[in-house]
Structure 1
């Protein structure tokens, strides 16, 4: 299977600079925060979000070099993403992410919350210094959406929702950052509104496909590939597409969810019911629909290596399932 990082070859050098810059942007004035930042930015992340910013920048400015404002936007995007992960891990009490200990398990919850706050504050400061009001509005919306997504997830534990409500929550938690940062990159390239909106659409549909695939892998992946035990989302009451589709076929699943898997064997029974339904199959089709929609949004871009990489990246999201 093609790896995500191999698809980033047009912007590989840009991503190497980004990793070093991120550590420098945090600064050494706060030793514990700097240690936490090194821990975060040295993690085995795929850097999908900043890579998309770089690819959009290069695809929309094929005859010009990467601008410093595009580089800073990619750094801001990764800072916001990382800050949200730090806070997520505290809320979810996760001990491991990407196979390594989380910030709160290494440094304590207090430092983790402060590190997340610090990253959000730093990203906001650098964002303001881009001196582009439209970009400030786009990325500020993302930070609001993260909070909205977390609140929705917290309030709706073990609550059965519609697929539409699930997609809205997935947009807040995952797709908003990809959509708005892709559009922001196009704005910095001085593209007309119609084209910036298409790149927003690419990011939105890519992000939704990405999240749906992650939610499928929670049932089909291994602990090694997930970096956490399979079925973790279901156990914590986070009902995703495979569960919501399975409920239409397996009514007893609702009984198990309503009692929050309180009895011995409840969780195992629920997992068996989901795997015996068409929930995973229908979720794959939903992910494929959004991946295809993402690619269609690229049709107005000039043919380039970076546009091809954006197309292949949407295909790669689905290939993670096989």
Structure 2
């Protein structure tokens, strides 16, 4: 665990942070760290300062996953049961807040402006998260424009947070937030698309007697959650929209029904639409990178992110 998250002098500190430690036993996607390193091609921070900021932002992201899994009733995270299924919802919620305030304390020490940036960016991220939950739970289909704004808030603000913190220690004050928000939008749409395209994922977990096993389904979780992703929003304006909406409303865990829904999204042209949006975003981001002077590391990250095509 990060060197400043655990205070061994405090009684029960290890125990009350157990959900966070549990999540971190499995490494997550490294793409966010790679994006931060790519921005540093322009910002030129020392390795030590960059690592300090990136570690803090990763802590925030990991803490947010604990909360997200509760809000979405997620069964699996990184191939293991979600932390709240192991430690319970009350302790996992408390751990989320605990980590977020530990990071805030760290930012207060980091720079006089860091805490204000943290508050501004996280608050906007929560607004995006809130909109996503509101649409899902009220069956309110957003417009594409509203979805794009939500994705930039929910995902893009994690990128602008790291960027703005790094610029506190950089001589390069060029406004790169537009690029960071575009990356967030691209990342969210790509993630939603991949969720619909990945193969079945049935994991077996031994019970206490090690004689039986239970299977946990993690296939197309977004359909089970009832999320209005870009593909779903597009489908609502097609002849297949009513069928798709009926399936979405069921919060189904039935794999065959979810496969049928994905087939409807393909048939309606909604998945093709998402692919075209991703292609356009990719070109736009690369053009912005070139405008900012070019960046081989960012180009490499974008190349890696194009794995959704495979």
TM-score higher than 0.5: yes
1:244, distance to aligned residue in structure 2 (A): 1.5
- The aligned counterpart of 2:242 is 254
Distance 1:225 1:279 in 2: 26
Distance 1:262 1:241 in 2: 18
1:23-102 correspondence to structure 2 within 5 Å: 24-28=4-8, 29=10, 30-61=13-44, 65-68=46-49, 70-102=50-82
- Alpha-carbon RMSD: 2.8
Pick aligned residue for 2:134 from 151, 155, 172 = 155
Greater share of residues in helix: 1
- The aligned counterpart of 1:321 is 309
Distance 2:3 2:85 in 1: 21
- The aligned counterpart of 1:204 is 181
1:111-130 correspondence to structure 2 within 5 Å: 111-130=91-110
User: CA offsets per residue over residues 1-36 of structure 1, 9 Å max, x none?
Assistant: xxxxxxxxxxxxxxxxxxx6x255333441223433
> In 2 relative to 1, CA 112–173 (structure 1 residues): closer, same or farther, beyond 3 Å?
same
Structure 1: gaps spanning 5 or more residues: 1-19
- The aligned counterpart of 1:165 is 146
Aligned residues: 290
1:230, distance to aligned residue in structure 2 (A): 2.9
Distance 2:269 2:276 in 1: 11
- The aligned counterpart of 2:119 is 140
Structure 2: gaps spanning 5 or more residues: 204-215
Matched, 1:312 2:300: yes
Which one has more relative contact order, counting CA pairs under 8 Å at least 6 apart? Answer: 1
- The aligned counterpart of 1:293 is 284
User: CA offsets per residue over residues 156-214 of structure 1, 9 Å max, x none?
Assistant: 1132111111111111221111123123323321213xx2x12x222211111111111
Distance 1:237 1:203 in 2: 28
Q: Is the 8 A contact 1:139 1:177 kept in 2?
A: no
> In 2 relative to 1, CA 51–122 (structure 1 residues): closer, same or farther, beyond 3 Å?
farther
Pick aligned residue for 1:284 from 272, 275, 284 = 275
Q: How high is the TM-score relative to the length of structure 2?
A: 0.82
> In 2 relative to 1, CA 159–231 (structure 1 residues): closer, same or farther, beyond 3 Å?
farther
1:318, distance to aligned residue in structure 2 (A): 2.1
1:162-201 correspondence to structure 2 within 5 Å: 162-192=143-173, 195=174, 197-198=175-176, 200-201=177-178
Q: Is the 8 A contact 1:53 1:182 kept in 2?
A: yes
> In 2 relative to 1, CA 321–100 (structure 1 residues): closer, same or farther, beyond 3 Å?
farther
Structure 1 residues 158-167 or 216-225, which shifts more?
A: 216-225
Distance 2:291 2:257 in 1: 50
Q: Is the 8 A contact 1:90 1:109 kept in 2?
A: yes
User: CA offsets per residue over residues 63-92 of structure 1, 9 Å max, x none?
Assistant: x74243x32211221111111111111111
